[in-house]
Amino acid sequence: MLMKLLSGDAPRSRVLTVILMAILFCLAFAPFLFPGVRSVDTAARICVFILLVASYDLILGYGGIVSFAHTMFFGMGAYGVALACTHMERGFGALIVGASGGAILAALIAFLIGLFSLRVRAIFFAMITLAVASAVAVLVSQLSGLTGGEDGLTYKIPRELTPAFRFGKETFGGEILGVKTNGRLLAYYVVFTGALVLFLLLLRIVNSPFGRVLQAIRENDFRAEAVGYRVISYRTAATCISAAVAALAGALYAIWLRYVGPDTALSFEIMVDILLMVVIGGMGTMYGAVIGATLFVVAQNYLQGLMGAASSAVEGVPILPDLLSADRWLLWLGLLFILSVYFFPTGVVGRLRDGK
Amino acid sequence: MSAAPEHAPTMARANLAERIAPWLPMLLVPLVMLTGLILIPSGSSWLTLTVSGLAMGMMIFIMASGMTLVFGLMDVINFGHGVFISVGAFVGVSVLLMLAGMTAAPSLFLNLLAMLLAIIAAALATGALGWAFERVIVKPVYGAHLKQILVTMGGLIVVEQLIIVLWGPEEIYILRPEALKGAVTFAGAALEKYRLVAVAVGLALFLTMRFVLRRTKIGLIVRAGVENGEMVEALGYRLRLVFIGVFVAGSALAGLGGVMWGLYQEVITAHMGQQMMILIFIVVIIGGLGSVEGCFIGALLVGLLQNYVAFLEPKAALISNIGLMVAILMWRPQGMIPVVKAK
Amino acid sequence: MSDPILTLQGVYTDIAQYHILQGVDLQVPRGEVTMLLGRNGVGKTTTLRTIMGHWRAKAGKVMFDGRDIAALPTPAIARMGVGFVPENMGIFSDLTVEENMVLAAVSGPIDAGRLDWIFAAFPPLKTFWKSHAGNLSGGQKQMLSIARAMVEERQLYLIDEPTKGLAPAIISTMARALRELKQQGASILLVEQNFSVAKALGDSCVVMDDGRVSWSGAMAELAASAELQERLMGLSMEAHQ
Contact between chains at A275 and B278 (C-beta distance less than 8 A): no
CA-based nearest residue to A181, from A171, A166, A170, A191:
A166
pLDDT tops 50 at residue B5: no
pLDDT band at B18 (very low <50, low <70, confident <90, very high): low
Which residues from C are below 8 Å from B when comparing CB atoms? Answer: 52, 54, 73-75, 78-79, 84, 86, 88, 90, 92-95, 99-100, 102-104, 106, 123-124, 126-128, 131-132, 134-137, 139-140, 148, 169-170, 173
Task: Give the pLDDT of residue C238.
Answer: 47
Cβ atoms within 10 Å of B83's Cβ, excluding its own: 33
Cβ atoms within 10 Å of B173's Cβ, excluding its own: 10
For residue B136, the one-letter residue type is V
| CB of C29 closer than 8 Å to CB of C187 | yes
User: Chains B and C: how many Cβ contacts under 8 Å?
Assistant: 96
| CB of C157 closer than 8 Å to CB of C181 | yes
pLDDT tops 80 at residue C152: yes
Q: How far apart are CA A108 and CA A132, in angstroms?
A: 14
Instruction: Name A229's Cβ contacts closer than 8 Å, sequence gap at least 6.
Output: A213, A216, A217
Q: How far apart are CA C13 and CA B193, in angstroms?
A: 63
Q: How far apart are CA B254 and CA B78, in angstroms?
A: 12
Q: Does B132 touch chain A (CB under 8 A)?
A: no
Domain boundaries, chain A: 37-269
Contact between chains at B223 and C75 (C-beta distance less than 8 A): no
Kindly state whether residues C160 and C142 are assigned to the same domain. no
Q: How far apart are CA B143 and CA B141, in angstroms?
A: 6
> Which of A326-335, C44-53, C187-196 is predicted with the least confidence, judged by mean pLDDT?
A326-335
Residue C70 in any domain: the answer is no
pLDDT tops 60 at residue B4: no
Q: Does B153 touch chain A (CB under 8 A)?
A: yes
> Which of A102-111, A179-188, B95-104 is predicted with the least confidence, judged by mean pLDDT?
A179-188
Kindly state whether residues C53 and C4 are assigned to the same domain. yes
| CB of B137 closer than 8 Å to CB of B83 | no
Kindly state whether residues C11 and C54 are assigned to the same domain. yes
pLDDT band at B19 (very low <50, low <70, confident <90, very high): low
Kindly state whether residues C45 and C161 are assigned to the same domain. yes
pLDDT tops 90 at residue C195: no
Interface test with A, best of B153, B159, B276 (most A CBs within 10 A): B153
Residues paired with residue C218 on neighbouring β-strands, in sequence order: C204
Contact between chains at B157 and A127 (C-beta distance less than 8 A): no
| CB of A47 closer than 8 Å to CB of A191 | yes
Local structure of residue C53 (DSSP, 8 states)? T
Percent over 70 (pLDDT), chain A: 98
Residue C10 in any domain: the answer is yes
pTM over 0.90: no
pLDDT tops 80 at residue B22: no
Kindly state whether residues C132 and C16 are assigned to the same domain. no
Element (H, E) at C156: strand C156-160
Which residues from B are below 8 Å from C when comparing CB atoms? Answer: 1-4, 7-8, 10-11, 14-15, 18, 217, 220-221, 223-224, 226-228, 230-239, 340, 342-343
Q: Which long-range contacts (CB under 8 A, 24 or more apart) does C224-232 make?
A: C229/C195, C232/C37, C232/C38, C232/C207
Domains of chain B are 42-331 (1.10.3470)
Interface test with B, best of C89, C135, C150, C154 (most B CBs within 10 A): C135
C-alpha gyration radius of chain A = 21
Task: Give the pLDDT of residue A160.
Answer: 82
**Residue in B8, B223, B233 nearest the CB of C94:** B223
For residue A94, the one-letter residue type is A
Kindly state whether residues C22 and C96 are assigned to the same domain. no
Shortest distance between the Cα of B199 and any Cα of chain A, in A, equals 25
The alpha carbon of C55 is separated from its chain's Cα centroid by a whole number of angstroms, namely 16
Kindly state whether residues C44 and C105 are assigned to the same domain. no
Task: Give the pLDDT of residue C2.
Answer: 64
Q: Which of A238-242, A344-348, B290-294, C178-182 has the highest mean pLDDT?
A: A238-242
Interface test with B, best of A341, A342, A344, A346 (most B CBs within 10 A): A341
Mean per-residue pLDDT, A238-256: 96
Task: Give the pLDDT of residue B14.
Answer: 52
Shortest distance between the Cα of B6 and any Cα of chain C, in A, equals 10
CA-based nearest residue to A127, from A70, A69, A72:
A69
Tens of pLDDT along C75-100?
999 999 999 999 989 999 989 999 99
Strands B267-268, B189-192: pairing kind: unpaired
Residue C189 in any domain: the answer is yes
SS3 of A175, please? strand
Shortest distance between the Cα of C28 and any Cα of chain B, in A, equals 20
Element (H, E) at C90: none
Q: Residue C220 is part of a domain; what is its CATH number?
A: 3.40.50.300
The per-residue pLDDT of chain B, averaged, comes to 88
- Of the two residues C240 and A179, the one the predictor is more confident about is A179
Q: Does A337 touch chain B (CB under 8 A)?
A: yes
Number of domains in chain C: 2
Contacts of A131 in chain B (CB under 8 A): 278, 281-282, 321-322, 325
Shortest distance between the Cα of B281 and any Cα of chain A, in A, equals 6
Task: Give the pLDDT of residue A184.
Answer: 87
- Please identify among residues 260-279 of chain B the ones whose CB lies closer than 8 Å to any CB of chain A: 274-275, 277-278
Contacts of C123 in chain B (CB under 8 A): 1-4
Task: Give the pLDDT of residue B12.
Answer: 46
Task: Give the pLDDT of residue C108.
Answer: 87
Shortest distance between the Cα of B86 and any Cα of chain C, in A, equals 34
Q: Does B151 touch chain A (CB under 8 A)?
A: yes
Kindly state whether residues C2 and C25 are assigned to the same domain. yes
Chains that touch C (3 or more CB pairs under 8 A): B
Task: Give the pLDDT of residue C241.
Answer: 41
Kindly state whether residues C143 and C161 are assigned to the same domain. no
Shortest distance between the Cα of C184 and any Cα of chain B, in A, equals 20
Q: Which residue blocks in chain B are alpha helix, DSSP H?
A: 3-39, 43-74, 82-98, 100-104, 108-133, 145-167, 193-215, 217-235, 239-265, 272-287, 292-312, 317-331
pLDDT tops 50 at residue B9: no
Task: Give the pLDDT of residue B15.
Answer: 57
pLDDT band at C29 (very low <50, low <70, confident <90, very high): very high
- Please identify among residues 53-92 of chain A the ones whose CB lies closer than 8 Å to any CB of chain B: 60, 64, 66
Q: How far apart are CA C38 and CA C42, in angstroms?
A: 7
Q: For chain A, where are the E strands, in sequence order?
A: 153-154, 175-176, 179-180, 259-260
Phi and psi based region of residue C66 (left: phi greater than 0; alpha: psi -120 to 50; beta: remaining): left
Mean per-residue pLDDT, B314-339: 86
The per-residue pLDDT of chain C, averaged, comes to 89
Task: Give the pLDDT of residue C235.
Answer: 55
Domain with C30, as residue range(s), is 1-65+156-168+183-241
pLDDT tops 90 at residue B338: no
Kindly state whether residues C164 and C226 are assigned to the same domain. yes
> Which of B39-43, B129-133, B142-146, B226-230 is predicted with the least confidence, judged by mean pLDDT?
B142-146
Contact between chains at A120 and B145 (C-beta distance less than 8 A): no
CA-based nearest residue to A264, from A82, A66, A43:
A82
Contacts of A134 in chain B (CB under 8 A): 275, 278
Mean per-residue pLDDT, B80-102: 94
Tens of pLDDT along A258-287?
999 988 888 888 998 899 899 989 998 899
State the greatest distance between any 2 C-alpha atoms of chain A, in Å, as a whole number.
Answer: 67
**Residue in A64, A124, A338 nearest the CB of B154:** A338
Q: How far apart are CA B89 and CA B125, in angstroms?
A: 10
Contact between chains at A341 and B158 (C-beta distance less than 8 A): no
Residue C44 in any domain: the answer is yes
Contact between chains at B151 and A341 (C-beta distance less than 8 A): yes
**Residue in C52, C78, C124 nearest the CB of B7:** C124
Task: Give the pLDDT of residue C240.
Answer: 46
The per-residue pLDDT of chain A, averaged, comes to 87
Q: How far apart are CA B82 and CA B64, in angstroms?
A: 9
| CB of C203 closer than 8 Å to CB of C197 | no
Mean per-residue pLDDT, A57-72: 92
pLDDT tops 50 at residue C55: yes
Tens of pLDDT along C155-166?
999 999 998 888
- Of the two residues A225 and B264, the one the predictor is more confident about is B264
Mean per-residue pLDDT, A35-39: 84
Closest alpha carbon within chain B to C92: B224
Kindly state whether residues C106 and C161 are assigned to the same domain. no
pLDDT tops 90 at residue A321: no
- Of the two residues B210 and A175, the one the predictor is more confident about is B210
Tens of pLDDT along A120-161?
676 788 888 988 898 888 888 888 888 888 888 998 888 888
Task: Give the pLDDT of residue A310.
Answer: 78
Q: How far apart are CA A12 and CA A208, in angstroms?
A: 18
